[in-house]
């Protein structure tokens, strides 16, 4: 049951899409949405080593960065409030000050689902490498989450990448059990297995989905998932991809972890990540 949704208000090009997705899901599930805005004053005001005579310039630069961050934060907060009010969605705003990842992870413990941008959760001045922010959250155990693309559109076609591993099975089961998009068309795809084993894998997975009221399609692709999953998703026109992962496999670059990492860093469409 989905009752509490957490959405990151990072003030990036993904923010409006994340807000719209959160509001749509809240409306469908009678859920409450928490918008989180974070200002890391320590990082924003740090200018590194300051040469002799450069103190005034460094101070002005720090102030400018802080003001711009606050402006973007307020913009994101107002977008969130207006969208929630227009839809009649229960909501709250958390204005946090501190280290972004720690604060996000703390809040994730008390929400059923997290919604963030694919590769820009935070502004560039807020974290050292915003493009890998999502990977860091996944490694920290923040799941389930939906990572949105820049544009918002209805989820009608869902591609479930299934390898037969426990991680991919958990992701599939979590997605099906949560019934976030009960009317969506599901397709289960597996890669790089012998034909008879692959067909059995997708057949068993499809049986599970059917037991939960879905009518999935089944597909076997003989190629590597790392290099062919994203092109396949684009060719089929998937609106969302379900990808299994684990912090351990991501860190050690095992086969499934390598694939999941590649997908997270290169996908151009929303992802559902769970464990």
Asked whether residue 211 falls in the same domain as residue 183, the answer is yes
Asked whether residue 128 falls in the same domain as residue 173, the answer is no
Asked whether residue 35 falls in the same domain as residue 122, the answer is yes
Asked whether residue 127 falls in the same domain as residue 178, the answer is no
Query: In this predicted model, what pLDDT tens digit does every residue of 168-189 receive, in sequence order?
Result: 899 999 999 999 999 999 999 9
* Average pLDDT along the chain: 82
- Residue ending a domain, choose from 148, 174, 207: 148
Asked whether residue 126 falls in the same domain as residue 234, the answer is no
Tokens at 3, concatenated: 């009752």
> Residue range 263-275: average pLDDT?
81
Residues 242/213, Cβ–Cβ less than 8 Å: no
Nearest residue to 224 (alpha-carbon basis) of 202, 193, 246, 249? 193
Asked whether residue 187 falls in the same domain as residue 108, the answer is no
Range of the domain at 69: 4-148
Query: In this predicted model, what pLDDT tens digit does every residue of 203-262 receive, in sequence order?
Result: 999 999 999 999 999 999 988 887 888 999 999 999 999 987 544 444 434 433 566 667
Residues 46, 6, 107, 245, CA torsion sign:
negative
Look up the CATH number of the domain holding residue 197: 3.40.50.620
How many CB atoms within 10 Å of residue 94?
14
> Residue range 113-118: average pLDDT?
88
Residue count of the chain, please give it.
275
Residue 139: predicted pLDDT: 72
Asked whether residue 134 falls in the same domain as residue 113, the answer is yes
Asked whether residue 125 falls in the same domain as residue 214, the answer is no
Q: How far apart are CA 131 and CA 136, in angstroms?
A: 10
Asked whether residue 143 falls in the same domain as residue 202, the answer is no
HSE at residue 141, side-chain half, CA atoms within 13 A, is 5
Q: What secondary structure does DSSP assign to 200-254, as a single string?
A: HHHHHHHHHHHHTT---EEEEE-S-HHHHHHHHHHHHT-SEEEEE--HHHHHHT-
Asked whether residue 199 falls in the same domain as residue 220, the answer is yes
Omega cis (within 30) before 144: yes
Query: In this predicted model, what pLDDT tens digit does every residue of 32-80 receive, in sequence order?
Result: 999 999 887 656 555 555 555 556 555 666 677 778 888 888 999 999 9
Q: How far apart are CA 165 and CA 101, in angstroms?
A: 28
Residues 231, 236, 240, 245, CA torsion sign:
negative
pTM, to two decimals: 0.83
Asked whether residue 9 falls in the same domain as residue 144, the answer is yes
Nearest residue to 12 (alpha-carbon basis) of 37, 32, 29? 37
Q: How far apart are CA 116 and CA 174, in angstroms?
A: 18
What is the domain count for the chain? 2
How many CB atoms within 10 Å of residue 7?
29
Residues 238/269, Cβ–Cβ less than 8 Å: yes
Asked whether residue 29 falls in the same domain as residue 71, the answer is yes
- Residue ending a domain, choose from 93, 128, 148: 148
Look up the CATH number of the domain holding residue 123: 3.40.50.12370
Kindly provide the b/e burial profile for residues 197-224, where b requires at least 16 CB atoms within 10 angstroms of the residue's own CB. ebeebbeebbebbeeeebebebbbbeee
Please tell me which of 73-87, 102-116, 260-274 the model is most confident about, judged by mean pLDDT: 73-87
Q: Which distant-in-sequence residues (6+ apart) come within 8 Å of 26 by Cβ?
A: 5, 32, 33, 84, 87, 89, 90, 91
- Residue ending a domain, choose from 148, 182, 209: 148
With both helix axes pointing from N to C terminus, report the angle between 225-236 and 255-266 in degrees, rounded to the nearest 10.
40
């Amino acid at each position: 049951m989905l009752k509490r949704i957490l959405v990151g208000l990072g003030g990036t090009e993904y923010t409006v899409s994340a807000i719209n997705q959160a509001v749509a899901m809240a409306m469908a599930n009678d859920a409450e949405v928490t918008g989180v805005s974070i200002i890391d004053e320590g990082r924003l005001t740090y200018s590194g080593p300051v040469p002799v005579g450069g103190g005034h310039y460094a101070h002005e630069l720090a102030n400018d960065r802080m003001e711009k961050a606050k402006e973007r934060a307020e913009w994101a907060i107002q977008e969130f409030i207006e969208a929630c009010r227009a839809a009649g969605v229960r909501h709250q705003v958390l204005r946090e000050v501190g280290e972004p990842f720690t604060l996000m992870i703390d809040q994730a413990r008390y929400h059923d689902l997290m919604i963030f941008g694919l590769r820009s959760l935070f502004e560039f001045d807020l974290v050292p490498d915003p493009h890998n922010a999502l990977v860091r959250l996944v490694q920290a155990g923040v799941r389930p989450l939906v990572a949105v693309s820049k544009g918002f559109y209805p989820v009608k076609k869902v591609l479930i990448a299934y390898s037969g591993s426990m991680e991919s099975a958990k992701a599939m089961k979590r997605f099906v059990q949560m019934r976030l998009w009960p009317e969506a068309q599901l397709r289960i795809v597996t890669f790089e297995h012998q034909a008879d084993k692959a067909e059995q894998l997708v057949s068993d997975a499809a049986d599970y989905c059917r037991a939960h009221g879905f009518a999935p399609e089944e597909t076997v692709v003989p190629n590597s998932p790392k290099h062919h999953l994203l092109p396949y998703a684009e060719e089929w026109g998937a609106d969302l991809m379900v990808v299994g992962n684990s912090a351990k496999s991501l860190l050690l670059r095992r086969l499934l972890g390598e694939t999941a990492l590649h997908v997270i860093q290169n996908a151009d469409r929303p992802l559902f990540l769970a464990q």
